[in-house]
Amino acid sequence: MRHFLTTQDYSRPEIESLLDAAAELKRAPCQPLLANRSIALVFFNPSLRTRTSFDVGIRQLGGHAVVLEPGKGAWPISFDALEDHPVMEGDEEEHVAEVARVLSRYCDLIAVRAFPKFKSWEVDRLDLVIRAFARYATVPVINLETITHPCQELALALTLREKLGRLDGRKFLLTWTYHPRPLNTAVANSAALIASKLGMDVTLLCPTEEYRLDERYLAAAQQNAADNGRTFTVTHDIAAAYRGADMVYAKSWGALPYFGRWDAEKPIREAHRHFMVDRAKMDLTPDAYFSHCLPVRRNVKVSDEVIDSPRSLVIDEAENRLHVQKAVMTYLLGQR
């Protein structure tokens, strides 16, 4: 039994094979590959695309999605380590061990969205919620975004393949952008991982050293690049970064050294509003494609002109969530 927690657990050929399956499912979307199967979609955080694309995709394959929102419609859950024999006298009414085991009796897959708590990165980087589900579940677990977002990675990768063909040696720019609130680094981590894994030359553009991603993901992306004989570079030079890019991928995130102390980070972020992706920056590229994972704030992260241009892939990438997720589910259940 295999989980889908991060693409780093999968080899490049395995990822390519998932993308091939996704392309096939895009051509023939309705097949009874999940007939009589039920999939639990557990959301600790809001969702539009993830929820809709999983729900629709599962149904197109003849399966059934159950959407659960612990703490809202369902009981609050404890994730304390069982090794510590926690005395559960707080707000939580049950332990993830029971939740994961029971859901495993009802469902064939458990998919979980659990964003960081944004208090301590040392805690959040342990990814305790999804790791606990994976530990106690007796069915495969899928990551719907925690501190990485592997389903988004596959959607991005499929979109890139559709537009660029073979990705080896193509230039992928991952650029930080401003956002009024400090956001999760998950999609940024994920973009760095997948672009490097698939053989692209990757540049991470961020305002200052403080906006570097967690060393775990920088090192993994570096290793991916090395494995492919490619480069992974961090820069703060906007013009240099855009020059030569085949793909510009935008994302905002909070600076890790200020994690949980966001008031202190705010002035730094505010000083870098000019990182917004706009026409002038895109003109530095050889007609690069643009994308973003959505939701996106217009004229904050990207100008209307860029997001509404023919080179914008945001809607295609969102659509591809549907296809890649169907490939992941059928793979995990041994249906292909």
Give the footprint of a copy of itself on this chain (CB under 8 A): 29-30, 36, 38, 40, 43, 46-49, 51-53, 55-56, 59-60, 64, 66-70, 72-75, 78, 82, 85-89, 92-95, 98-99, 101-103, 105-107, 180, 294-300, 303-304, 308, 314-315, 318-319, 322
Which CB sits closer to a copy of itself, 230 or 251? Answer: 251
Buried b (16+ CB within 10 A) or exposed e, 15-35: bbebbebbbebbeeeebebbe
Q: How many CA atoms lie within 13 A of 212 on its CB side?
A: 14
Is the Cβ–Cβ distance between 156 and 191 less than 8 Å?
A: yes
Q: How far is the CB of 34 from a copy of itself (least distance, A)?
A: 11
Distance CA 86, CA 78 (A): 9
Least separation in angstroms between CB 10 and a copy of itself: 25
Nearer to a copy of itself by C-beta: 93 or 122? 93
Measured from the CB atom, is 47 or 223 closer to a copy of itself? Answer: 47
The nearer residue to a copy of itself, 10 or 249, going by C-beta atoms, is 249
The DSSP secondary structure of 213-278, one letter per residue, reads PPHHHHHHHHHHHHHTT--EEEE--HHHHHTT-SEEEEE----GGGTT-HHHHHHHHHTTGGGSB-
| Min CB(148)–a copy of itself separation in Å | 20
How many residues would you count in the chain?
Answer: 336
**Would you say 225 or 324 has its CB closer to a copy of itself?**
324
CB proximity list for 252: less than 8 A, separation 6 or greater: 176, 177, 178, 179, 183, 301
Query: Max alpha carbon distance in the chain (Å)?
Result: 60
- Find the shortest distance in angstroms from Cβ 304 to a copy of itself: 5
* Measured distance CA(86)–CA(311) in Å, rounded: 53
Q: Smallest distance, Å, CB 125 to a copy of itself?
A: 24
**What string of DSSP letters covers 100-129?**
HHHHHHH-SEEEEE----SS-HHHHTT-HH
Nearer to a copy of itself, 75 or 283 (CB): 75
Tell me which amino acid residue 75 is.
W
Neighbours of 178 (CB within 10 A): 17
Please state the closest distance from residue 55 (CB atom) to a copy of itself, in A: 5
Choose between 73 and 286: whose C-beta lies nearer to a copy of itself.
73
Based on CB atoms, which residue is closest to a copy of itself, 54 or 217?
54
Q: How far is the CB of 21 from a copy of itself (least distance, A)?
A: 19
Residue 58 C-beta: closest distance to a copy of itself, Å: 9
Using the CB atoms, write b or e for 194-205: b if 16+ within 10 Å: bbbbbbbbbbbb
